[in-house]
Structure 1
Amino acid sequence: MNYVDLDPALQPLIESYLESADRELLAPVLTALGADAPQRLAPLADVADKNPPTLEQFNREGDRVDTIDYHHSYQELQKAAYEEYGLSALSHRGLHGWDDVPPHLVKYILSYVFVQAEFGLACPVSMTDAAARTLWKFGEGEQIAEAIDRLISVDPERRFTGAMFMTEIHAGTDIAQTSTVAERDGENWALSGRKWFASNPDADIILTLARFPGGDDTTRGVGLFMLPKHRPDGTKNSYVIDRLKDKLGTRSMPSGEVTLNNAYAVQVGALERGFRQMAEMVNTSRLSNAMRATALMRRSINEALAHARQRVVFGKTLIEAPLMRMTLLPLQAEAEAALGLVFYCGDMLQRADAGDASATAQIRVLTPLAKHYICKRARFVTGEAMEVRGGRGYIEEFPDARLVRDSHLGSIWEGSSNVIALDVLRCMRKQNTHRLLAKTMKEKLNTIALAEAVPEIRELLTRWSAIVDRGDAIVSAESEAAEALIGGYADDLAQLIMATLLLEQADAEATRDGNFRKLLVAKTFIGSNITGDESAVVEILSHFEDIVDGASLTSESVSAGTVSTPTPVA
């Protein structure tokens, strides 16, 4: 079993988004990880979930040590993520044959496959990556330079992991309520306060927020600081881990409460811009949240398909039942639409980093849009897939329950759905990003070669015009009305983007490969999520197994509603 081979959407998207030289370098490591994930990493993840980390606060001499003990299964997963595949380093240095830094998409692709096996570890991996990016953009000085160098290292003797401590009892969403304070301590700072929810609390490098002397009572009065696990002289920094959290999901990875007691810290960037700088780390993690949610969808659908193919009910396998196909096909389309959006976001991030102004504006709003929609849908998709397995799916001996538990995380961490929706509204007010997205997506629809054969394109163009008008009305509305409406608007906007990207990819696959499979996926997503046309989805059910298996479908076979001698896509 290979997770890459089980995913009919992945390789065609790689073909569309990556240059040939990058594809050649990616292929061997992706193939290796695709096999490693189900055969080695997923069993390790199952064990790690059942054996969560424990906190040893004192050693036998009575000294405060705050050591977190990890089960060996989690330690093996750490080695795979940080060292073998370098997931936290891929956006910062050449690995796997790349002399220079590979495109951001390489990281997202490999992480997407890894997360199908293990979700919890992906949080500290993402924070390590994001901490290095944030320090590189805003930090300066020898200590920060060394921290970056070690955060992006794959050397087991040298590598660091990262974390961000933001949440306090009264300052989760409202960062202006941060009560942690920073006082000058020579050239650096001493931080005191309590962080209520800190994941990867024994990280080597932590980015955290604190109020600084003379700052006002808004977010401009909160500075960003680097909190190392050890002081420059090698002694343990003065903060303690009070306890670890008993969480619904991500049980393999520790989250805890931390108290800072005049902890040594280094200032990062301008004090009054601390929150804005921390937003760089948060936004990077938000996009990773969307990617991880997409991976959970894919794994859960794989599990559902495998069960439905072998479970016999009333003399037939479940996969043959029309209602089961009608249940699974929209889930497949949902997962492929989410993956398409993740690819597009990764590409926009690459272009933004290269100085593309349009891409910069797009990724600013695409990040919260992707997190808002995909993370919520992952809860639904994993739940539906668990139900396919019935009572077995509810039993913790199977992976479905863990996938459902973990799926609830994405909508909460790095901002709950309502917070994320308000961020979308902020982007619209500042840059009219709904108009920019509509312009970009309409251009894509208007250049699709299949336009005459796809009436859905005309429907989407009409809906794009309508959603721009809705967006304009929300932007000009009174604040309370705008905030009340933005959640539903963000979902509708995300769905239109995903439908457009599906049709663009369908056009690319039909033109490049003569394969019309993706067009049926796009029609399924549009019928299920946008037009509500179930009859259109029913007509596609005859191609169900060809769609989920990644068969190559000709235009004639699609038009005729039958498939003869389908050829699997390599």
Structure 2
Amino acid sequence: MSFFQEPPRLGNQYDDDALLRSYLDRVLPRDMRAGLEGELRELGELGGGYFYDFQLRDRLNEPTLMQWDAWGNRVDQIEVSPLWKEAETLTAKRGLVAVAYEQKNGDRSRIHQFALNYLVQASLDIYSCPLAMTDGAARTLLSLGNQELIQRALPHLTSRDPATFWTSGQWMTERTGGSDVGLTQTVAKQSPEGWRLYGTKWFTSATTSQMALTLGRPEGNGPGGKGLAIFYVETRGADGRLNGIQINRLKDKLGTRKVPTAELTLDGTLAEPVAGLTDGIRNMSWMLNVTRTWNAMGAAWSMRRALALAKDYAKRRVQFGALLSEKPLHVDTLAGLEAEFHGGFLLAFRAVELLGKLEAKTATEEELLLQRLVTPLAKLTTGRQVVHVTSEAVESFGGAGYVEDTGLPRILADAQVLSIWEGTTNVLSLDTLRAMAKGGALEALYADAERRLGAAKDAGLKPCVTAAQDALEKARAWVMKAMENPAAVEAGARRFSLTLGRTYELALLVEHAQWCLDNGHGPKATAAARRLTRNGVDLITDMDLDDARLLVS
């Protein structure tokens, strides 16, 4: 008798996600929650049905670049995949950017926005990339207060009409450096028509966008980040031609292959300064605040998708006489991954909550301090978790997980970028130290974590509380000791930052677990907290810097 493996299937991604539903029940007022229910369920159905099926059919379609037309004219036209075209329409109609700026739910508008995206983005082939930069551009323009550019661009960036909706690029990386953008070589020169940019952008991830924010050094300015300015660029003129931009090639990447990442030459590109002619890196921080939050949320929905498929498959695949879902070792492996997802989900949404309060101007002083620290912590911690979780989830399918036409390898390949985009783990670890150096942020994090741990009443959560408190105390002691040796501070920044991030996740999970027990949502979150504790949250170890240098020499 012939045997064929059953593929994994997805259901409604809202109805099937107990963590999301319990989280929204906890953080949203009842009437607000009820008002969003229908919209969330519709997006959940699209995410697990129509768009997931579309994603599998569209697997082989990737962006193409046509540099020349049949008559020898340079046109540099990028064609994106059919799914991406439909994702753009969905974005506008469903307000996947607009919701955050309409502010109908006050400082919870960001929770609303990211809940919508969480339900559908895993099926949209990283269309979240241009959306993150579009959102970041809108927030940057508003925060820097250039009214002319706000009136020009914001109605497009936040439009619900597909005919008028724009996406935005973020063009920062050059050949000279990725994270070290102070080495930017693009020059801005004045001309009779206005400022013009000359240089090369080595990575531009939203090259098909109608506008971009980019960095350039006005002629005569000094070196480093201080001498850079942030510029607004519309990619095409009124005649439809590219605005002094040449697309040299599309990048051949490990993952995110649906994203049209390109190398650009700017050759007299008309541009407008957004906020003066200096301090470009500091002014770009408004964008990074938003895009790093998107990155953390991208990790959350990627973990969720990998685990949803793995758990469904375990109920279908028979090996050695039983379903995988009945094999203790397989169950134990998936349980460890599920706990990582729970922690990452809550940390990502904590960054979302703080961003919403910052923008709505309802944040307390402590929350403002927290936001500076939680955003880099959420990005770096979830960026590491998603690579681990998706790798293990793909492995759980055996050979099928390694075969491209199942769609499963793409989940892992796409996840790898989330520890790189918007700052690598090491860069974000150093950002964490800088956030702490401004004073008050670390104390705010400790106070918030202790409050959440203090919510625990169930005896099953007590070991989790103890483990979190011990890790926090050890991190505090490490900081005090390491301050005596600046090289040791930098060398240990990654372990310290991941310890803070994972311990804060555990504190958030303990609070949520107790709430679930008290409000009829069951013991699953408690089990996740216990398992995250066993997975380990304390990564701080005594180290020998001389040994480290010897090992990599």
Q: TM-score, structure 1 length as denominator?
A: 0.88
| 1:291 aligned residue (297, 309, 314) | 297
Deviation at 1:118, TM superposition (A): 2.3
1:235-286 Cα deviation digits (max 9, x unpaired)? 5411111111111111112000000011100111132221111121122111
Per-residue deviation, 1:486: 0.4
The superposition leaves residues 272-307 of structure 1 with CA deviations (integer Å, 9 ceiling, x where unpaired) of: 221111121122111111111111111111111111
Which of 240, 249, 259 aligns to 1:253? It is 259
Q: 2: distance between equivalents of 1:459 and 1:213? A: 55
Following TM superposition, by how much is the alpha carbon of 1:123 offset from its aligned partner in structure 2, in angstroms?
0.3
Using a 3 Å threshold, how does the CA distance of structure 1 residues 156 and 367 change in structure 2: closer, same or farther?
same
Distance 1:432 1:101 in 2: 23
Q: Which residue of 2 aligns with 1:431?
A: 439
In the alignment, is residue 352 of structure 1 matched against residue 358 of structure 2? yes
Tell me which amino acid in the other structure corresponds to 1:421.
S
CA distance in 1, matches of 2:480, 2:352: 27
Counterpart of 1:317 in structure 2 is: 323
CA contact (8 A) 1:382 1:400 kept: no
Deviation at 1:7, TM superposition (A): 1.7
Rounded Cα–Cα distance in structure 2 between residues aligned with 1:447 and 1:400: 39
Structure 2 counterpart of 1:495, one-letter code: R
- Conservation of the 8 A alpha-carbon contact between 1:44 and 1:74: no
Aligned-CA RMSD value: 2.0
Aligned to 1:399: 407
User: Contact 1:44/1:77 (CA < 8 Å) preserved in 2?
Assistant: no
Distance 1:186 1:90, change over 3 A: farther
2:528 aligned with 1:518: no
User: For the residues of structure 2 that align with 1:446 and 1:100, how far apart are their CA atoms?
Assistant: 28
How many Å apart are 1:345 and its aligned residue?
Answer: 1.3
- Provide Cα deviations, 1:386-415, integer angstroms capped at 9, x if missing partner: 111100111112132010110101011111
* Correspondence 1:60-75 to 2 at 5 A: 60-75=70-85
Aligned partner letter, 1:50:
L
Aligned to 2:386: 378
Q: Give the 3 Å change call, closer, same or farther, for CA 47–240 of structure 1 in structure 2.
A: farther
Deviation at 1:115, TM superposition (A): 2.1
CA distance in 2, matches of 1:407, 1:452: 33
Q: Which residue of 2 aligns with 1:492?
A: 499
Q: Distance in 2 between matches of 1:514 and 1:404?
A: 31
Q: Out of 78, 83, 86, which is 2:92 matched to?
A: 83
Counterpart of 1:362 in structure 2 is 370
Read off the aligned partner of 1:86 and give its amino acid letter: G
8 Å CA contact 1:188, 1:267 repeated in 2? no
What's the offset of the Cα at 1:460? 2.3
Structure 1 pair 255/453, CA: closer, same or farther in 2 (3 Å)? closer
Aligned to 1:190: 196
Helix, strand or coil at the partner of 2:419: coil
| 1:398-440 C-alpha deviation (Å, 9 max, x unpaired) | 1320101101010111111111111111111222422221121
Contact kept, 8 Å, 1:164 with 1:206, in 2: the verdict is: yes
Partner of 1:554: none
In the TM superposition, residue 93 of structure 1 has moved relative to its aligned partner by 1.9
Counterpart residue number, 1:416 = 424
Aligned partner of 1:481: which letter? A
Aligned to 1:564: none
Q: Which residue of structure 2 lines up, in the alignment, with residue 155 of structure 1?
A: 161
Match of 1:172? Answer: 178
Q: Match for 1:46 among 39, 56, 69?
A: 56
CA gap of 1:234–1:318, structure 2 versus 1, over 3 A, is: closer
Where 2:200 maps in the other structure, the secondary structure is: strand
Matching residue of 2:548: none
In 2, the alpha carbon distance for the partners of 1:185 and 1:359 equals: 45
CA contact (8 A) 1:3 1:37 kept: yes
State the partner residue of 1:200.
Answer: 206
Three-state SS of the structure 2 residue aligned to 1:194 is strand
AA aligned to 1:43 is D
For residue 111 of structure 2, the aligned residue among 93, 100, 105 is: 105
Cα distance change on mapping 1:61 and 1:312 into 2, 3 Å: same
Residue 342 of structure 2 is aligned to residue 336 of structure 1:
yes
The 1:71–1:20 alpha-carbon spacing in structure 2 relative to 1, beyond 3 Å, is same
Give 1:252's aligned amino acid. Answer: K
Could you tell me how far apart the structure 2 residues matched to 1:100 and 1:425 are?
31
Does the C-alpha gap of structure 1 residues 238 and 424 become closer, same or farther in structure 2, counting only changes over 3 Å? same
Shift in Å, 1:509:
1.2
**Is the Cα contact below 8 Å between 1:348 and 1:359 reproduced in 2?**
yes
Q: Out of 207, 216, 219, which is 1:210 matched to?
A: 216
Who is 1:469 aligned against?
Answer: 477
Q: Does the residue aligned with 2:262 lie in a helix, a strand or coil?
A: strand
Distance 1:521 1:446, change over 3 A: same
Amino acid corresponding to residue 442 of structure 2 in structure 1: H
2:243 counterpart letter in structure 1: N
Rounded to whole Å, the distance in 2 between the matches of 1:273 and 1:458 is 45
Structure 1 CA distance for aligned equivalents of residues 388 and 455 of structure 2 = 33
1:186 deviates by: 4.7
C-alpha deviation, 1:39, in angstroms: 1.2
Identity fraction in percent: 31
* Whole-angstrom distance in 2 between the partners of 1:243 and 1:144: 31
Given residue 16 of structure 2, which amino acid in structure 1 is its aligned partner?
L
* Runs of 5+ consecutive residues of structure 2 not aligned to the other structure: 1-10, 540-553
More displaced stretch, 355-364 vs 316-325: 355-364
The whole-number CA distance in structure 1 between the counterparts of 2:148 and 2:484 is 49
**Residues 227-236 or 183-192, more deviating:** 227-236
Name 1:27's counterpart in structure 2: 37
Secondary structure of the residue aligned to 2:102 is: coil
**1:139 offset after TM fit, Å?**
4.1
